[in-house]
């Protein structure tokens, strides 16, 4: 029995090659529509650009191109208004849209796929999608940086203990501590922008793997879609997901940074620190213990980091050992990629809202900054300015600290005479060195915690604008 050459609704575009219909289990197993439908706008934008090029190059008639483009616009509206109806036989967003196109305008809709394969089409859609994601994430990162700056400004002059090994080390400004995260985020932004340069290369025209026989104009399509360049090797083009991996790698580092900030919020909110109070709207209670106010938001941001790392590992593993060129394995790129996008977007959003609302307990921070002999370095530095070699000064102050601990006294309670018993280099002016304020102020070399540095940074254009 001769088979119809036309594609009917519910029939696969490639049904001509097959003797029997696809098994329903296979349909369900192979479809990516539920996941890749979120790229419908990119798919349609890419198809419109491709179609304009086909018309311009006289590969299809102008009138045909116009009809196709008009129908694609209508399909886009079906998606955006939630009216698009998918079929179980829709293999992916690309086939769903083509199926609908042919339903709407008949056989001429089948001309859209001239000189194109889903292999270069999906690469295009993903690059368009990731380009938007990166741009939005860069904005989100900037907003979080500004939220941290807002918190820093509201608590200008607040001194806290800086830590190494989570042991009190030296006093620092709370603002300086927050600006450390701004610097981490600045690098995250840089990594995303860098990754964007490799996202923004136009893949369409690679065909299934070998290129196309049609007289296409790839540069024109690149121009229409705002790409900086076109890819140069068709095999690489359809099998390259480096740009997705780069995003996931940059995203993993970003998630790691967020987890560190989140962890500090958890620590600071603990009654043992009591450096901050969480806003009620960003805390949760316990179903059993009435006294609890828990930092679940920060804990979840910390915990979700594992998902983002997992997404990176999933795609690295999917890509490992794949022979050239396209392999269906690669359809598995989208679930982890979109999961990472959603996770990072949500984490950035919630941290941006929560951080400026933290109520800072300046008294608690200050108390902790004074405890733990955090001014010991000041004494050693003082001796070093009095011509005592630093290594020797370190030893002298070590002995002073040991004695003070034994006598349960703070360093600032020591008299000049007591200090002079350890070194004749101590003079009356040493007492001016023994406050947390002085210790902070003296660290004015570039990058140090002095208020001058912190204020200068907070005044930078990047951090100034409010969200």
Measured CA distances, 318 to 255, 308, 311, 348, 404 (Å): 21, 15, 11, 27, 60
Range 431-435, long-range pairs (CB < 8 A, 24+ positions): 433/375, 433/378, 433/379, 433/381, 433/382, 434/375, 434/378, 434/379, 435/375
Strands 201-202 and 229-230: parallel
In this structure, are strands 159-164 and 359-360 parallel, antiparallel, or unpaired? unpaired
CB closer to ligand ARG out of 12 and 304: 12
State the catalytic residue, choosing from 286, 410, 413, 460.
286
Q: What is the distance between the alpha carbons of residues 457 and 39, in angstroms, rounded to a whole number?
A: 39
Pick the closer one to ligand ARG by CB: 263 or 332: 332
The SS3 call for residue 243 is helix
| Spatial distance between the Cα atoms of 71 and 64, rounded to a whole number of angstroms | 11
The minimum distance between CB 133 and ligand ARG, in angstroms, equals 17
Q: Based on CB atoms, which residue is closest to ligand ARG, 44 or 149?
A: 44
Name which of 203, 207, 305, 210 is nearest 244 in CA terms.
203
State in angstroms the smallest separation of the CB of 101 from ligand ARG. 17
> Is 50 in the active site?
no
Closer residue to ligand ARG (CB): 208 or 249: 208
Catalytic residue (choose from 4, 23, 81, 165): 165
User: Which DSSP category does 387 fall into?
Assistant: T
> Would you tell me which residues interact with ligand ARG (CB under 6 A)?
32, 36, 92, 118-119, 122, 328, 330-331
Alpha helices in 60-163 (DSSP H): 62-80, 93-105, 118-154
- Please confirm, yes or no, whether 165 is among the known catalytic residues: yes
Give the residue with the Cβ less far from ligand ARG, 91 or 188. 91
DSSP 8-state class, residue 12: -
What amino acid positions are annotated as catalytic residues?
Answer: 165, 286
């Amino acid at each position: 029995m001769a088979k119809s050459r036309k594609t009917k609704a519910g029939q696969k575009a490639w049904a001509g090659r097959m003797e029997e219909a696809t098994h329903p289990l296979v349909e369900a197993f192979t479809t990516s529509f539920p996941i890749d439908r979120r790229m419908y706008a990119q798919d349609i934008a890419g198809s419109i650009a491709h179609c304009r090029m086909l018309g311009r190059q006289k590969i299809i008639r102008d009138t045909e191109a116009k009809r196709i483009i008009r129908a694609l616009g209508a399909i886009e509206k079906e998606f955006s208004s939630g009216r698009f109806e998918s079929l179980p036989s829709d293999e992916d967003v690309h086939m769903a849209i083509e199926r609908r196109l042919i339903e709407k305008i008949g056989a001429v809709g089948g001309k859209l796929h001239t000189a194109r394969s889903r292999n270069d089409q999906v690469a295009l859609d993903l690059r368009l999608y990731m380009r938007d994601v990166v741009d939005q994430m860069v904005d989100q990162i900037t907003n979080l940086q500004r939220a941290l700056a807002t918190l820093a400004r509201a608590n200008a002059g607040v001194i806290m203990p800086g830590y190494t090994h989570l042991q009190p080390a030296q006093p620092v400004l709370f603002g300086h501590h927050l600006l450390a995260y701004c610097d981490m985020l600045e690098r995250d932004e840089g990594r995303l922008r860098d990754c964007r340069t490799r996202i923004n290369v136009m893949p369409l025209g690679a065909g299934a793997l070998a290129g196309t026989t049609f007289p296409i104009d790839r540069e024109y399509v690149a121009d229409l879609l705002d790409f900086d360049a076109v890819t140069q090797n068709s095999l690489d083009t359809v099998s390259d997901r480096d740009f997705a991996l780069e995003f996931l790698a940059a995203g993993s580092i970003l998630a790691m940074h967020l987890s560190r900030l989140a962890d500090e919020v958890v620590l600071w909110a603990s009654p043992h620190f009591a450096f901050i109070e969480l806003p009620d709207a960003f805390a949760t209670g316990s179903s059993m213990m009435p006294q609890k106010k828990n930092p679940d938001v920060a804990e979840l941001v910390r915990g979700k980091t594992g998902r983002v790392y997992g997404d990176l590992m999933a795609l690295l593993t999917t890509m490992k050992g794949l022979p050239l060129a396209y392999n269906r394995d690669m359809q598995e790129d989208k679930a982890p990629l979109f999961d990472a996008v959603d996770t990072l977007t949500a984490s950035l959003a919630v941290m941006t809202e929560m951080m400026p609302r933290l109520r800072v307990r300046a008294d608690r921070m200050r108390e902790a900054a004074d405890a733990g002999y955090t001014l010991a370095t000041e004494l050693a530095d003082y001796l070093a300015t009095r011509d005592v070699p630093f290594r020797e000064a370190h030893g002298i102050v070590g002995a002073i600290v040991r004695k003070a601990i034994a006598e349960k006294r703070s360093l600032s309670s020591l008299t000049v005479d007591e200090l002079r018993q350890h070194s004749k280099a101590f003079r009356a002016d040493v007492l001016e060195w023994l406050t947390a304020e002085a210790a902070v102020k003296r660290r004015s070399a570039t990058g140090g915690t002095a208020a001058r540095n912190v204020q200068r940074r907070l005044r930078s254009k990047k951090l100034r604008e409010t969200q």
